[in-house]
Chains A and B, each alone.
Chain A
């Protein structure tokens, strides 16, 4: 079940159709990588603190915070990333202050198309390869940065950003840095797409896989999320399909209370719906398998969804 080498590169991008569980999968991957002994940072680039919310942690903001799960978390905000960049590479503290007060930074990060993505990608470079060279003990480089990346619809512009800006900025240090960032995303990153096994998510995933192929970007694995188990244990299905609603209600009540046939009908309808979900899932899983190696995660029938559930899912990524 384990996909090959999910954690053997510096960056693991977790994307997918919105609502399919990107944040959950990214968090589970971070847990698994940390358990495998890697120095791991889980980052969020959407500014929504998704992973922290899911794991029940305070929002980290733009600083790397320890967690009880063996990895650290960070929320990349483009504004802070730009200021840090100006400071780290040009020692322009005074300028950064001026820019901040003049709101130039806000204009740049909010208004320049693609700039947000570029700042996030630049920060990923800083967290890994740049720190390798800088070897500053206060800023240790991470083995793996797991990214709760933009959804598939925006993944293309996220990945293309650095090269687009490199075409615009054709001289100097930023030009070279953009080339490094581009290389980090294209050659030194793993990419995982999360999909639920239904028509819409699978279509969008296959579209994304096609796009990645056109751009020579390698897909490491597809995570099929929320895979449901069969409704009926072996040998019970045929009898269940023959069972009348009234009889089902009677068997449940056993004379202790007045059986309500409508409750029986309700349950039979729910079982039929669950079976149709599973039939559709069985149609779509093979399509995902044709796109690349697939890691399956079970649908969790739980009354809560938080760190405990993420820990349970992390087992599927155990190296």
Chain B
């Protein structure tokens, strides 16, 4: 059933969904509603294509913050994620000594990892979210998740990256290359030695030396990273965090949304709702076919009516397709709180547009049922 979205007692709202469903618009609309309700609100955009920047007309540089005035004194802060800088800061925080920090920051492998390679994005998005939640006094934080290829990569990102950075598997493989271990080759098992030789043969010793150098500098920081990844995960599982799954009213998108919903509930996360975005409302006015022929041959007014009725017919077909797809989704998951956001305008690129979406999402500007002050 459709009713206004309720975010009682939530402080962090994670907006997820596959690419192109309007996550950015929905997260901005949620943030606007929260700010309007009097919460000190920040919205974190992590998409490298900087879509929120377009919506809110923000400057485009990563790492920058800007304040959007919503009228009536309400304001919303928006922040664009800077992946590389967030990673550097994380290293600095845990390095302990300047020497170790420099060793890592100048390591070729680290530079590739932090700057170029895919996968760090999700990790740093979650890290930044954690920082905002723990070191700044926001009453509401909305995060627009990166478009990930595998369902909810950002959920596992901190843990997976930490495993990678300090994982036993990797250490085992690289054992012979690590200068630190005095036992050297003799300490490694036969299997590890064989594997390691093979990798050396395929990838060259230099790669392994770079990685080994990086990992040896990383040693001692691993526990800190692991602990932090655990806390990030905890934050995501807490009551105060709500997930919002956004989907387009099309079959492929709904299938993915269903997959998201399942994964979230398996992981024990709290789903606040599913938003079917850009729902096309089809006009219901119909006409008998013989009558249509008559109108087409009629006077100017009648021909205009015919054109409009033809448009109605045209618009009904994709709308039927969508209704069937969403209907099937609803039948499969009767317990789900589904919010339909109709396509209100050709595009939402300004504040009045976002506020219109907010109103549909929350029915009024009241994201909290029991009034204010319910946020922890």
Residues of A within 8 A of B (CB): 17-20, 23, 46-48, 50, 53-54, 86, 90, 92, 95, 98-99, 103-104, 107, 110-114, 116-117, 150-154, 156-158, 160-161, 164, 167-175, 198-200, 203-204, 207-208, 231-233, 235-237, 239-240, 242-243, 247-249, 251-252, 254, 256, 260, 263-264, 266-271, 273-274, 276-277, 279-280, 300-305
Contact = CB atoms under 8 A, between A and B. Distances in A.
B258 interface: no
Contacts of B294: 254
Nearest to B51: A200
Given A17-B49, A171-B204, A302-B317, A243 B301 contact: yes
A303 B321 CA distance: 5
Contacts of B207: 168-170
B257 to A, nearest CB: 13
Contact of A240 (B170, B201, B250, B307): B307
Interface string B342-369: 0101110100000000000000000000
A208 B198 CA distance: 39
17 contacts: A17-B19, A19-B253, A47-B150, A113-B113, A113-B119, A113-B161, A153-B48, A169-B203, A170-B206, A243-B304, A254-B288, A264-B285, A266-B281, A266-B285, A270-B281, A270-B312, A301-B315
Contact of A150 (B117, B149, B303, B343): B149
A11 to B, nearest CB: 19
A25 to B, nearest CB: 13
Interface string B288-325: 10010011000011111111110110110110110000
B213 to A, nearest CB: 12
A113 B117 contact: yes
Contacts of A164: 112, 116-117
B315 A169 contact: no
B138 interface: no
| Chain A interface SS verdict (over half) | helix
Contacts of A277: 346
Contacts of A243: 301, 304-305, 308
| Chain B interface SS verdict (over half) | helix
Contacts of A231: 307, 311
A111 B167 contact: yes
B345 A267 contact: no
Contacts of B198: 92, 95
Nearest to A207: B49
A160 B116 CA distance: 8
B112 A167 contact: yes
Given A153-B47, A164-B117, A266-B285, A303 B163 contact: no
- Which 5 A-B pairs have CB atoms at the shortest separation, nearest pair first? A19-B20, A18-B19, A114-B117, A18-B20, A113-B117
B40 interface: no
A114 B269 CA distance: 28
Contacts of A99: 195
Nearest to B299: A239
Q: Which range holds the interface residue count of chain B? A: 35 or more
B2 interface: no
A215 to B, nearest CB: 12
Nearest to B148: A154
B55 interface: yes
A274 B204 contact: no
A301 B310 CA distance: 12
A263 B205 CA distance: 74
Contacts of A251: 295, 301-302, 305
B193 interface: no
Interface string B204-222: 1111001000000000000
Interface string B150-187: 10000000001101100101100100000000000000
Given A266-B283, A270-B282, A111 B347 contact: no
Contacts of B120: 113
Contacts of A242: 301, 304
Most buried by B among A50, A107, A274, A276: A107
B285 A112 contact: no
A116 B117 CA distance: 10
A304 B21 CA distance: 19
A274 B315 contact: yes
B69 interface: no
B284 interface: yes
B41 interface: no
Nearest to A175: B204
B21 to A, nearest CB: 6
B310 to A, nearest CB: 8
A111 B285 contact: no
Contact of B49 (A158, A161, A208, A276): A208
A240 B308 contact: yes
A157 B118 contact: yes
A164 B203 CA distance: 13
A204 B250 CA distance: 22
B327 to A, nearest CB: 14
Given A92-B198, A236-B303, A268 B169 contact: no
Given A111-B160, A172-B202, A208-B49, A17 B301 contact: no
A268 to B, nearest CB: 7
B147 interface: yes
Contacts of B300: 235-236, 239
A171 B306 CA distance: 71
B348 to A, nearest CB: 9
Given A95-B195, A233-B307, A270-B281, 7 more contacts: A19-B253, A200-B347, A240-B304, A247-B301, A251-B302, A256-B291, A303-B320
A109 B160 CA distance: 11
